[in-house]
Amino acid sequence: MDKRDGIFSPAGVVVDLGAAPGGWSQLALKRVGKAGAVIAIDCLEMEPISGVEFIQDDFTEQSGLQAVEQALAGREVDVVLSDMAPNLSGHAAIDQPAAIYLAELAADFARQRLSKTGCFLVKMFQGEGFDQFRAQLLRDFNKVITRKPEASRSASRECYLLAREPVL
């Protein structure tokens, strides 16, 4: 997706929500380089990645949000990534609303912290609430694209929404 859409830029500031095990953080760090910054948060442990500031906390809790804000130290954010996922129960009626809730929290953070040219990339599962969430992104960002990762099975409902340029 980064090759196709140019998500990261040199010296950019990236916040990776739901970062464990660290794949997105590693890619982001390569793209932003030493002049950039990658701040990653997850409630799960993550192996240290040299150059990535990792916060082990729950982003859905005030303490997690405050830790990210402290790490940002007032800097604008160029990219907000969200790979957050709820603990799955196996029941779509429970899991889908929980996933939408996490996406809404990430989108709210992105709307507040992104630079005017920033982008928000969020993993989603198509289903109840997806269309409404995408419609809200279309109101809040100038561009919204749906991407299906090549690694995702064709039968999977997994996709990513890439929203660019928040409407200020």
Active-site residue flag, 30:
no
Q: Span 7-166: which CATH code?
A: 3.40.50.150
The residue annotated as part of the active site, out of 3, 30, 123, 148, is 123
- Residue 158 pairs with which residues in a beta bridge? 125
Rounded CA separation 88/7 (Å): 29
Mean of pLDDT over the chain: 92
Tell me the pLDDT tens digit for each residue of 61-91.
999 999 999 999 999 999 999 999 877 766 7
Tell me if the bond preceding 21 is cis, omega within 30° of 0: yes
pLDDT above 60: residue 152 = no
**Helix axis angle, 62-72 relative to 92-113, nearest 10°?**
30
List, in order, residues 6 or more apart from 39 with CB less than 8 Å away: 13, 14, 15, 16, 52, 53, 55, 68, 71, 72
Q: How far apart are CA 106 and CA 144, in angstroms?
A: 15
Query: How much of the chain exceeds pLDDT 90, in percent?
Result: 79
Kindly report which listed range (1-5, 10-14, 48-52, 84-88) carries the lowest average pLDDT score: 84-88
Q: Where are the domains of the chain?
A: 7-166
pLDDT over threshold 60, residue 21: yes
Percent of the chain with pLDDT over 70: 93
What's the predicted TM-score (pTM) here?
0.93
